[in-house]
């Protein structure tokens, strides 16, 4: 199925509704109900959502950019249609509920549409209260307890109970639907929080991550897949610095967590369920210990029994294995065993333990090449790649939308200096990039978003950023200085210091150098760049 294609079930809903007129709804209500039912099922980060909004609202639809992302000044991009479709869904659901109360019955096909319409309307009704644990300032509060559940369950019974629908269609259990609603709200929050940008590559990334969380079929997800998505390993690829861990974090923090209706609480806190492990930062023994755990005395320094990430992770948790391409062959075999039969052993033990969580792995390596060179197991690769996501490079994103740079710089600036100071820092960074990095063409940002963050930090501290990729790898110090001058990448301080060193070495004295430079002798002595002077002396023998 293509990225921009309609969901089969959505088309089916529309055809069924439009092909048969019932006494319950007018033609216009049929069209709106079909579109609103589709909004309960469609991937919200694709154009299908926009098309459904347009069909639901008709002439009231407000044209806007289809890419839904974070605004430069914080918060989601405003979509004027969201409150309109929310009000329409709730009004239409109530109208149809009242009509059903006086009707002899409803056909199964119509009941399916009514059910999906109600599900969308109820989600919109409770979305703000479901967002409470993720809001700023809510840290430390109980993210598991939801007193609103009783009110939600009563609403669900009022709209979809036996008295209204009978046995025409299957209705999700209230505690399960509530858990799905909370998961959808968390997914929205984390996709907006971690995956910033208004370009089409960024939009496609959000849409792909949404499918990694829910699959492409929301009905099937609610029926059965919510139990099994943890069995599917997700592999995130892409160049270094593109935010692969943020992709993994968005997936891990958006997993399904069951709700206990009797206690009015979720079984665990979503914000404690993500465990990242960088495989390239540790020795093979430490990687194995961190991942699988160890028994006391199993290696030097193992002074006590210890549970690893796999054991500590709950059934609804996620273990993130960063730099999976760096893992050594012996550990590849053990990891393959975890993926194949979900079992493992601690270092130094024979007892079998079980892992029930989800694994997300990431790499910037070409695993196809690694397999051909014999460094990565083919069977492990095929276990990892059931669900693949590629994080786009910053160059790809800027090629599609040059304004993306300002969006990302604004976001980074807010993280570093806060909302009040972010605007000024953003302007300084954009000015530096325009006047120093983009003078000879668009700078390629080989370090991607990680490099952009470093640029923002450098401008914050030193008012400048000099990427190492612009430094010529070969040539004399004088040739390098000329190249830097031509590229316009030097500050005035850098230029004066390096050029003063060159003139001083050529003239042989501070006084002569001062005369040639038109400066005071003491100024020349104070301004000389010592590193440049030392390099020139080495090159001169």
Contacts of 203 (CB under 8 A, 6+ apart): 45, 66, 67, 68, 69, 197
Residue among 425, 440, 436, 501 at smallest CA distance from 467? 436
Q: What are phi and psi of 350, to 5 degrees?
A: -110, -10
Structure tokens at 100: 């059903």
Single pTM value for the model:
0.80
Query: Pairing mode, if any, of strands 265-266 and 259-260?
Result: antiparallel
Residue among 158, 202, 198, 152 at smallest CA distance from 177? 152
Report how far apart the first and last C-alpha atoms of the chain are (Å, whole number). Answer: 67
Cα distance between residue 207 and residue 43, in whole Å: 7
CB atoms within 10 A of CB 429: 25
CB 489 within 8 A of CB 512: no
Structure tokens at 387: 């669900």
CB 115 within 8 A of CB 177: no
Residues in the chain: 541
CA 316 vs CA 17, 275, 293, 389, 430: distances in Å = 38, 12, 19, 21, 42
Cα distance between residue 144 and residue 271, in whole Å: 10
- Helix (H) or strand (E) run with residue 277 in it: strand 274-278
Look at residue 399 and give its three-state secondary structure.
Answer: helix
Structure tokens at 30: 């049929």
Given this model, what pLDDT does residue 13 score? 43
CB atoms within 10 A of CB 414: 19
Burial class (CB in 10 A: 0-12, 13-18, 19+), 444: middle
* Alpha-carbon dihedral 436, 440, 446, 452, rounded to 10 degrees: 30
Residue among 245, 274, 244 at smallest CA distance from 257? 274
Cα distance between residue 229 and residue 158, in whole Å: 31
Given this model, what pLDDT does residue 68 score? 63
CA 79 to centroid of chain Cα atoms: 20
Dump pLDDT digits (tens) for 384-428.
988 999 999 999 999 999 999 999 999 999 999 999 999 999 999
Three-state SS letters, 59-120: HHCCCCCCCCCECCCCCECCCCHHHHHHHHHHHHHHHHHHHHHCCCCCCHHHHHHHHHHHHH
Q: Cα Rg for the chain, rounded, in angstroms? A: 29
Three-state SS letters, 3-52: CCCCCHHHHHHHHHHHHCCCCCCCHHHHHHHHHHHHHCCCCCCCHHHHHH
Give exposure, 45-80, as e/b (b: 16+ Cβ within 10 Å): bbbbbbbbbbbbbeeebeeeebbbbbebeeeeeebe
CB atoms within 10 A of CB 120: 26
CA 368 vs CA 327, 328, 362, 386, 393: distances in Å = 15, 16, 14, 15, 19
Query: Pairing mode, if any, of strands 318-322 and 358-363?
Result: parallel
Cα distance between residue 357 and residue 279, in whole Å: 19
CB 209 within 8 A of CB 250: yes
CB atoms within 10 A of CB 166: 12
Dump pLDDT digits (tens) for 419-452.
999 999 999 999 999 998 887 678 889 999 999 9
Residue stretches of the chain with pLDDT short of 50 = 1-22, 72, 137-140, 470-473
Dump pLDDT digits (tens) for 351-383.
999 999 999 999 999 898 899 889 999 999 999
Give the residue extent of every domain in the chain: 8-194, 246-392, 395-470, 477-539
* Class at the top of the CATH hierarchy for domain 246-392: alpha beta
Structure tokens at 257: 């967590």
Given this model, what pLDDT does residue 120 score? 95
Look at residue 138 and give its three-state secondary structure.
Answer: coil
């Amino acid at each position: 199925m293509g990225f921009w294609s309609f969901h089969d079930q959505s088309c089916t809903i529309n055809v069924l509704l439009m092909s048969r007129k019932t006494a319950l709804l007018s033609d216009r209500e049929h069209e709106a109900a079909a579109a609103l039912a589709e909004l309960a099922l469609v991937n919200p980060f694709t154009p299908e959502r926009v098309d459904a909004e347009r069909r639901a609202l008709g002439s009231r639809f407000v044209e806007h950019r289809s890419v839904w992302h974070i605004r430069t000044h914080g918060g989601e991009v405003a979509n004027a249609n969201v409150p309109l479709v929310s009000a329409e869904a709730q009004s239409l659901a109530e109208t149809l509920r009242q009509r059903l109360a006086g009707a002899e019955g409803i056909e199964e096909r119509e009941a399916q549409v009514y059910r999906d319409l109600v599900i969308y309307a109820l989600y919109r009704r409770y979305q703000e209260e479901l967002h409470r644990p993720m809001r700023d300032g809510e840290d430390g509060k109980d993210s598991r307890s939801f007193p609103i559940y009783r009110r939600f369950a009563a609403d669900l019974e009022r709209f979809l109970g036996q008295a209204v629908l009978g046995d025409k269609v299957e209705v999700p259990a209230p505690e399960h639907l509530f858990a799905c609603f909370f998961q959808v709200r968390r997914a929205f929050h984390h996709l907006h929080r971690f995956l910033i940008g208004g370009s089409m590559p960024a939009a496609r990334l959000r849409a792909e991550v949404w499918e990694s969380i829910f699959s492409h079929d929301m009905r099937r997800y609610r029926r059965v897949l919510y139990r099994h998505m943890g069995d599917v390993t997700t592999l995130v690829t892409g160049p270094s610095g593109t935010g692969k861990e943020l992709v993994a974090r968005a997936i891990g923090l958006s997993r399904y967590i069951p709700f206990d209706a009797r206690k009015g609480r979720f079984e665990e806190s979503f914000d404690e369920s993500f465990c990242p492990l960088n495989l390239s930062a540790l020795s093979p023994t430490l990687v194995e210990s961190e991942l699988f755990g160890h028994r006391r005395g199993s290696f030097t320094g193992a002074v006590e029994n210890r549970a690893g990430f796999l054991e500590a992770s709950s059934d609804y948790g996620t273990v993130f294995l960063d730099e999976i391409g760096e893992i050594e062959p012996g550990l590849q075999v053990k990891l393959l065993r975890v993926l194949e039969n979900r079992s493992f052993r601690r270092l130094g033990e024979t007892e079998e333990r079980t892992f029930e969580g989800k694994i997300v792995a990431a790499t910037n390596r070409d695993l196809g090449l690694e397999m051909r060179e014999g460094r990565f197991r083919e069977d492990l690769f095929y276990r990892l790649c059931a669900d693949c996501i590629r994080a786009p490079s910053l160059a790809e994103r800027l090629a599609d939308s040059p304004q993306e740079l300002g969006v990302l710089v604004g976001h980074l600036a807010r993280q570093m200096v806060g909302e009040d100071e972010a605007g000024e820092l953003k302007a300084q960074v954009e000015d530096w990039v325009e006047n120093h990095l983009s003078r000879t063409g668009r700078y390629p940002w080989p370090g991607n978003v990680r490099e952009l963050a470093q640029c923002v930090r450098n401008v914050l501290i030193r008012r400048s950023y000099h990427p190492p990729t612009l430094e010529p790898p070969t040539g004399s110090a004088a040739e390098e200085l000329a190249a830097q001058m031509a590229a316009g990448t030097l500050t005035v301080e850098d230029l004066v210091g390096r050029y003063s060193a060159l003139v001083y070495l050529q003239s042989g004295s501070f006084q002569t150098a001062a005369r040639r430079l038109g400066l005071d002798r003491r100024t020349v002595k104070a301004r000389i760049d010592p590193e440049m002077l030392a390099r020139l002396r080495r090159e001169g023998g």
